[in-house]
Chains A and B, each alone.
Chain A
Amino acid sequence: MKHKVLIGLCVGVLICLSSTCSEKNDKQSFAESKITVLSLGDERILGPVWDSPPRFLVFLPLVEYSHAEPNPALAERWEHSSDYKSWTFFLRKDVKWHDGVPTTAHDIKFSLDLMDRIAPLKQNQGIVSYEVIDDFTFSLTYEKPSMYALDYWSVYWPKHLLEDLDPEEFWKWEFWTQPVGNGPYRYVRHVPKTMIELEANQDYYRGIPKIQKVILKFGGGTPLTELLSGNVDVSQALLSDVPKLRDDPRFHVYYKRTWYVGTIFWNHRFSLFSESSIRRALTLAINRRELARLLYYPDDISLFDGISTISQYFNDDLPEPLPYDPQRAEQILEDAGWYDRDGNGVREKGQQEFRFTAIVDKSIGLDLDKAAVFVQDQLKRVGIRMEIQESQGTLNSRFRSGDYEAVFGKFQNSPIAYGGHLSILGDNSPLGYENSEMIDLLKQAKNEPDFEKRKTIFQKIMPMYTADLPMTILFPETRVLIAKKRVRGLEDYSDPTWFMEYLWIEEKE
């Protein structure tokens, strides 16, 4: 009798499990225009807590930068004063919130007011004032000429749904888990800590997106297992995952260059790095092509020595990098008086040995720890000893105060602000870099809203940079996107959630 009960229970378990599995399989089989994307975060990913690209599925920014140039999004067009201090935005009249209410300039003002009130969202844009001119027009005035108005990152929220909520409870609002947006997809449901389901917005002003349903699946041990098990169609992956999937006929690997550049920052206040010739020798001693290969970067990755506008950067309109030439590096070091006289493998000059410590920030995700080990070996070959000190997301204050010898970090080629260049090389440079002419040009570039004029300024900066070599640029950050081959359109876009409306799914793989 006991055995029968046990067998009965086991059969019951199996039936239930199989029904669970078969339901899952049935759901997967209808997925003609459904895409599942492996995502960070949780059910609050569409709100301001995570402040990440998936929110562009649901909310619209004023402009978007799909090809390093601003394109209209929520703003149909814009005008600016001749001094670029006053901007007027004309909103599209056919954009509606997902509940059918039109998106107006009042929503923009409401959102800006809210952002101003919630400290972490407040931005340093130098806005003097903003006002609603009519339902679909609003203006912004800046204290200085500014391109910040062409903000691709902020999104705006529906005043009619949020104005009565308590701003003190901003981060707890249920709205962030069930948002009503105005973007290409609308929220349908979520399973806590598991997924969010979105469906194509039938009233979207650009037309109904081709992919009907988007699932954001959270977490996942590794992207590799999620992709291989068929749980997701698209995921970011590690560069080191590429060899395991490159030859798999189900997938396509996309390399996406980001705005960040992996760099060795030399502290010019430190006696070893004060001379540009020494920085040049250090750069010549590092085989950057080999380093990129070891880190699984694509073979055709562009390496360079220079700083640029974002369009120059993305169009590879950059100066050639210094070549790998360890003999030349050794010659420069000897010309500067650095010899290994005692035969211990380390060059010295007077009583000083060529030794320094480089701090590596492991938390910024560029495999800089591995790069540091490679560079350590390369420099050892020319008689330089580099000690590596690891840091976990704790470097910023130390870097800014100049309390270091060398740092493996990154800087940003932001499309609108150019704050990255100026914050590294400008006044109070954390490198201790001082070149007033370059600083003036960088300031001009930062405040120059005209793209062509800005390019001209950077063309003047380039030779100056090459002569000074204030830092050694290792490689442009490149992310890997792995997608099933039936997902199309990813060639031109860096992030599938940011540009989902431009993607489609081929019926046959």
Chain B
Amino acid sequence: MWRHILKRLAQAIPLIWGILTITFFISHMAPGDPMDMYLEQQRQRQVDPEIIELLRQKYGLDLPIHVQYVKWLGNVVKGDFGESFRYRRPVLDLIAERIPYTLQLTLLALLFSTSLGIIIGIVSAVKQYSALDKGVTLGSLIIYSIPGFWMALMLVLVFSVYLGWLPTSQTRSMDYEFFSWGQKIFDRLWHLILPVFVLGVGSAAHKARYVRNRLLEVMNEEYILSARARGLKEKMVIFKHALRNAMIPLVTILGLHLPALLSGSVLIESIFAWPGMGTLAVGAVGGRDYPVMMATLMISAILTIVGNLLADITYVALDPRVSYEKKKPV
């Protein structure tokens, strides 16, 4: 198993390198110049062309693209992602500041979507063809079809603007520092409700359909019939025997959902003014802030690969038939 993990990690290195190399050249060859954005930022000032040239030299933008690439890659290997053109701070500082917000959002959304998807999937499978099942099927289809940004705006309108129950945006209240620790926790959760719901609910609908179908397949297996014949309670049959086997394929799609959640969080973070990697990446792309762009992309690539690896590992843990060890010849 460990050998398999190490092998996968080793394979990830050239993969990440490939992704970053392609993105580096595409982004640098695309039309546009970070200095244009700088001039737009400084539109109230009369910026000396010499200053622009100095900045170009400072950030290495005056060098041929292949030289920029080698220099950048060398720095990345040493753990130096450079300095943001926009924020004038080390990229790693910016990422360290923002990644907890994105992880908080995406992991909670993953937890929420998985729990909700499993519960709805089970209910739907157990009550197959009932009004509840049909309602859940239709509801899942509708929710899955609604664009996340539209749902976010509608929910803000209803729950924040009209009802005033939930905050419109941000991660905490303005008087946060005066709250007791208990209030602080609930304040953070209160601010998480809408973004986590919007980020997770579409994926929950997808998982619910998956769990339902898989559970119905498993329920027709002979070992389930056998369990029932042995007189086991239906709850025991479903949760102990059927669900465990039905869940195995779900684990694989969890790993695949992680990158989808990360990309979805870009939009949700913008709508809810969530200061995570998504808003940082959007700003970096718009401002041609290459160091930040490349670093956020690298983090996304790593998280995607790690998500897939975790799915593989969990798969082995859940299904004893699966093993990555070489079997000895009989």
Contacts and interface: CB of A to CB of B under 8 A. Distances in A.
A419 B176 contact: no
Contacts of B221: none
Interface in A378-426: 391-398, 412, 417, 419
B36 A19 contact: no
Contacts, number: 147
Interface string A36-59: 000000100000010100000000
Q: Which of A19, A120, A125, A417 has the most CB of B within 10 A?
A: A120
A242 interface: no
A292 to B, nearest CB: 23
Q: How large is the interface on B (under 10, 10 to 19, 20 to 34, 35 or more residues)?
A: 35 or more
B287 to A, nearest CB: 7
Interface stretch (B164-172, B200-208, B234-242): B164-172
A194 interface: yes
B45 A225 contact: no
A192 B48 CA distance: 34
A226 interface: yes
Interface string B180-216: 0011011100100000000000000000000000000
A218 B273 CA distance: 8
Contacts of B36: 393-397
Contacts of A219: 169-170, 273, 275
Nearest to A27: B175
Contact of B44 (A153, A215, A222): A153
A228 interface: yes
Q: How large is the interface on A (under 10, 10 to 19, 20 to 34, 35 or more residues)?
A: 35 or more
Contacts of A189: 177
A417 B183 CA distance: 53
A148 B46 CA distance: 9
B301 interface: no
A13 interface: yes
Contacts of B3: none
Q: Which of A42, A124, A189, A230 has the most CB of B within 10 A?
A: A124
Given A16-B186, A229-B161, A396-B39, A194 B51 contact: no
B54 interface: yes
Interface in A240-291: none
B172 A191 contact: yes
Interface in B29-74: 30-33, 35-51, 54-55, 58
Given A120-B42, A394-B33, A397-B33, 5 more contacts: A49-B87, A125-B46, A219-B170, A220-B170, A394-B36
Interface of B: 30-33, 35-51, 54-55, 58, 87-89, 152-153, 156-157, 160-161, 164, 168-179, 182-183, 185-187, 190, 270-273, 275, 286-288
20 contacts: A16-B186, A23-B183, A27-B175, A51-B45, A119-B58, A120-B38, A122-B48, A124-B47, A153-B45, A189-B177, A191-B176, A193-B171, A218-B273, A225-B160, A225-B168, A229-B164, A392-B286, A393-B286, A394-B30, A394-B288
